[in-house]
Structure 1
Amino acid sequence: TRGALYHQFKDKEDLALAVIEWVDETWRREVGRHIEQEPDPVHALITLARGHAVYCRRDVARVAMALRLEFSDQDHPVGSQLERVSESLVKRCARLVNAGRRAGTIAAGPPARTVALAFIGALEGTVIGLAGQAPYDELLAARAAVGVFGFRRPPDGLD
């Protein structure tokens, strides 16, 4: 029960921090490992977009969103932890953008961090806007996310 769960933690903050850690661990296990197996940076980013869309179909993603809204103040320990988790995703995406640029598959342009933020924003917006509309959420999340790179659609075989 909800009461029994609360008793396992010192306070609401402790519970929120544990939830953030759990969400991050499950995302890395369910989405992140597939990204790491993809040698091509563009394919890795599309894999991220598709995997994130599928992951967000579950309640766990809604919990993370609710925590972001409630603890948006970075001066709060929960807000700080949320920022660290978000920043790790931005850095991962920026590394992939830079790798894609070195490989010639992502065009030069704005700084990689800026592109990563736009990629994540396009992905999050699509996933939120298409909540409950599987399988289209996954397909359109990939399309929206690669649009940030100037592609009209994902490369062959990835649509």
Structure 2
Amino acid sequence: MTTPPRRTQADRRARSRDALLEAAARGLSRHGYAELSLAEVAREAGYTRGALYHQFAGKEELALAVVAWVEKTWNDEVRALGERAADPVGALLAVARGHAVYCRRDVAGVMMTLGIEFAGRDHPVGKALGRIFERLERECAERVERARATGAIPEGPPARVIAAAYLGALQGVAMELAGQAPHDEVLAERAVRGVLGLPPV
């Protein structure tokens, strides 16, 4: 019988970091940045406050790391669906359904909560969110333009306006119906179909 290999220091550090990030994401999703308790984050993750400070210098660094972590998991699980789609309309619908599924977890409200809290403020967390939202809107607008060029989406408001409405409708439905499968996924697609001017299903 072989003994399983011992975890390295790097493995243990990565595991504790992931646990702290997920606990912080839940805390930010529920309470926002101003009300986030680092002691509560550490306790919920199963670590001491000292372990948290060993990984993150403070609340701002932790929040920035959470934003990057949520962006990566969303890209891996949702954005990738759009990239695999055969055409721009398929990509927009796949992202809508994938986002609804992503929002079934209890960390999904992080971006919306922080976006509201830091709106119009000159703060590193707000700037990081702004870069992410800008990229998402730009990618969405590019898909709208490509779909219009083929006649798959009808003419209408400017593509950036459609993109903003698409993202707003998607976020609203996904957050309001978070966890209510399969209705969340079905209604997320219906909502964005309406914004895009596509026939209902």
Identity among equivalent pairs (%): 55
Pick one of 69, 74, 79 that aligns with 2:116: 69
Match of 2:196 in 1: 149
Q: Against the structure 1 CA distance between its residues 57 and 102, is the aligned structure 2 distance closer, same or farther, given a 3 Å change threshold?
A: same
Q: CA deviation at 1:33?
A: 1.1
Which position in structure 2 is the counterpart of 1:121?
168
Q: Which residue identity does 2:149 align to in structure 1?
A: R
2:68 to 21, 26, 35: 21
Structure 2 Cα separation of the partners of residues 7 and 57 of structure 1: 31
Distance 1:69 1:149, change over 3 A: closer
Q: Give the drift of 1:6.
A: 4.0
Q: How do 1:9-158 and structure 2 match up within 5 A?
A: 9-154=56-201
Higher relative contact order (CA 8 A, sep 6+): 1
- Superposed CA RMSD in Å reads 1.5
> Where does the alignment leave 5 or more consecutive residues of structure 1 unmatched?
155-159
Structure with bigger gyration radius? 2
3-state secondary structure, aligned to 1:75: coil
In 1, are the aligned partners of 2:145 and 2:159 still within 8 Å (CA)? yes
Aligned-pair distance for 1:42? 0.8
How many residue pairs get aligned? The number is 154
- 1:24-64: CA deviation from partner (whole Å, max 9, x where unpaired): 11111111111111121111100010000000111221233
- Which TM-score applies when normalising by structure 1? 0.90
- Following superposition, which runs of at least 4 residues in structure 1 exceed 6 angstroms of deviation? none
The TM-score with structure 2 as length reference comes to 0.72
1:95-134 Cα offsets, whole Å, 9 max, x none, are: 1000100111011111100000011111111112212311
Q: Which amino acid aligns with 1:94?
A: A
**Given that residues 68 and 82 in structure 1 are in contact (C-alpha distance below 8 angstroms), is that contact kept between their aligned partners in structure 2?**
yes
| Alpha-carbon distance in 1 for matches of 2:76, 2:103 | 14
